[in-house]
Amino acid sequence: MRMKMDNAFYVDPVGIAGGLVLWWSNDVKLSVLAHDKNFIDTVISINGEDEWFGTFIYASSYDVEKQEFWERLGTLRGDVNAKWCIMGDTNIVASPNEKYGGSPFHHNNAKWLHEFMESSYLMEIQSKGGTFTCSNQRCEENEIREKLDRVLSSLEWSFLFPKAIAVIEIPVASDHAPIILLTNGLKKRARTEFKFESRWTLEEECLNIVQEEWTPVEQRNQRGTFRVKLRRTKVKLWKWNREKFGKNKTSANEIANKIQILHEGPMTRDNALKLKDLKAELSKLWESEEMYWQQRSRVDWLKSGGLESLRV
């Protein structure tokens, strides 16, 4: 509910192990076709567009169960031309460059994933971000990092979403990195439209800026026409907003970059302590931003018609 998801499907854990959850919003038409303790198989349509199969997995880490899991997954689609995308934790390192530390890489450990991809005519979606998606969170000679999480798709699915890319984010609250699948690719940053933000009304500086520009003309030696005043107010508010509230986003991005650099390098004890402090600082910034958006969704100034966008 806090994340504004309208629908949910759960697979209960077995004892205290496992458990899966899938959430989706109302702009996604989704039906669950099959599920077990390791996957949720669905058919999806976003905003009324073409349907495709989406399978969300948490593969077994036990060698005795891996063959059964990948063979079972291979029976889900009988048509090699199906629009199919698989996303989640494969619990398999596919190549030597996807592993750092621990026991040496063995091709035998990757055979189930490779055989499944070959028999189902699937390929891995291009990813952007970190090299590894999982860490044992230990230091120095005990450190192990691996790429276990990935997105696979059929050729037909890639024709449907030719710009799709998987973004590997930094891990903060888990030993696994979150993966975001952008079906339409990375979007170019659009020019920001000026809008009056409801949170400004809580700041005295905002009131001072507006009063300074809109004091009656006779007291301000002909400050200008309505249009000129509006433009000056817009520019001053925009600059003030960037200085007042823009620091949170900039700081969060800087901290995230530092975390990413530490994750890519050797995890010494000193770096582990730095990483812990950075994650705590980033979580605090994210919590502050979350509180703001929750407040904004409740007040909802812009959608209420109380104040329209200002364009000059």
Q: Is residue 167 within 8 Å of residue 128, measured between CB atoms? A: yes
**Which of 95-109, 114-128, 175-189 shows the highest mean pLDDT?**
114-128
Whole-prediction pTM: 0.67
- The Cα–Cα gap between 61 and 49 comes to 36
Please report the pLDDT score of residue 269 as a whole number. Answer: 83
Encode pLDDT of 59-106 as tens digits: 988 888 888 999 999 999 988 889 999 999 999 999 998 998 888 888
Please report the pLDDT score of residue 247 as a whole number. Answer: 63
Residue 301 predicted with pLDDT over 60: no
- The Cα–Cα gap between 280 and 76 comes to 42
pLDDT band at 198 (very low <50, low <70, confident <90, very high): low
Encode pLDDT of 207-238 as tens digits: 888 888 777 655 444 555 777 777 778 878 87
**CA 210 to centroid of chain Cα atoms:** 37
Mean pLDDT of 109-128: 91
* Higher pLDDT among residues 206 and 24, named by residue: 24
* Higher pLDDT among residues 9 and 204, named by residue: 9
The token pair at 293 is 């958006």
Encode pLDDT of 248-261 as tens digits: 667 777 888 888 88
Encode pLDDT of 25-40 as tens digits: 998 999 999 999 999 9
Residue located via tokens 């039906």? 31
Please report the pLDDT score of residue 302 as a whole number. Answer: 42
Residue 107 predicted with pLDDT over 70: yes
Strands 7-11 and 20-24: antiparallel
* Higher pLDDT among residues 57 and 2, named by residue: 57
Question: Kindly report the CA angle at 138 between 132 and 142, in degrees rounded to 5?
Answer: 95
